[in-house]
Structure 1
Amino acid sequence: MIKKLVYNFEEYFIVYSLAFMTLLVFVQVVMRYVFQNSLSWSEELARYIFLWLSWIGASYAVKERSHFRVEMFANKLTGASRKYFELFVLLAWFGFCVFLAYQGSTVTRHLLTRGQLSAAMEIPMAYAYASVPVGSALMALRLIVEIKKLFSGTPGGKGA
């Protein structure tokens, strides 16, 4: 049960946050156009949920192997050369994710230190910016799994 929850964390997060964000925007529209009184915080919260949804969704896309790729060059390779090319691509992507996670953590720590608050909800801006290092770190973990699949011969691995 817990293993399934951890393995499918991104999927659960995406579904529930998208449902909540949709409900929140719907309530905002009703409040604005039916009651002529808008909520001051709902648009900001929806924006921050969307940030988290996007970055966690990027990690989920790695798990599902659904990121866009240009495979013109890769399709010309076969056998071991294709496998090593895929390894190169995954390692470059992994390095970029680690870089994003590190830099995102640096920005988030800086915002926490400065104590910058959001305009409407007055919550720390670091909460919104933390989506970058968290999503990038999750992507990096999923890429490690993809690299393992590439060399273990697991069906569905990029080199299979």
Structure 2
Amino acid sequence: MILCWKKLKPTGCNRFFVFIHRVEEITLVWTILILALIGFVQVISRYVFSYSFTWFEELGRYIGVFVAFSGASIGVRTGSHFTMDLLVTHMKPPWQGRVRTFTNSLAAGFFFIVAYHSWKIVLRMHGYETTSPTLQIPMYVAYLPIPVFCVFIGIRFLITAFAKDMKRQTP
């Protein structure tokens, strides 16, 4: 069982998670680099050559959504999301762990609800067969990262909640 995201050892089932984490991080880094390159080319083409690519702005917007949700998923895994834990840190140890488990479980439930409703929107967009204005890609493709990464975020919140709870119970 995985008790901590940061200390995964490459044995058994954990190799799969290490591989997934690595692919996710590499994908995020390259996606951010592509987004920066797109922005740079757009600025150069607009101000130096007085020509603007309309599809660059749309692609940048879709990549930005992908980066935001992917980064949020990694943030849950690494514990780098901001928290308001002033009251929790001043609680006695058994209550501190219970409240953290509860809040992580609540956050997981929220993201599963968002994933469900955004999946319904993706299916609706697929049924409408609409395409994006300049790239002409199906709009459901643009909306697809939202439910996918919300499921990842929800799973990671659940694992964080119960892995830390189990870690507290083991001597």
Question: What TM-score, normalized by structure 2, do the two folds share?
Answer: 0.84
Mapping of 1:87-126 within 5 angstroms?
87-126=101-140
Partner residue, 2:149? 135
Gaps of 5+ in 1: 155-160
- 1:15: which partner in 2? 29
After the TM superposition, list the runs of 4 or more consecutive aligned residues in structure 1 that deviate by more than 6 angstroms.
none
- Give the aligned residue type for 1:15: V
Deviations 1:93-138 (A, max 9, x none): 0100100110110001100110121111111111121121011011
Matched residue count: 154
SS at match of 1:92: helix
Deviations 1:6-62 (A, max 9, x none): 123332222010000101111111111112111121110011000010011110100
- The answer as to whether partners of 1:10 and 1:57 remain within 8 angstroms in 2 is no
> Which residue is equivalent to 2:164?
150
The code of the aligned residue for 1:101 comes to A
> Which residue does the alignment assign to 1:45?
59
Let me know the Cα RMSD of the aligned residues.
1.6
Tell which deviates more after alignment, 130-139 or 142-151. 142-151
- Segments of structure 2 that go 5 or more residues without pairing to the other structure are 1-9
Q: TM-score, normalised by structure 1?
A: 0.89
Percent identity over the alignment is: 27
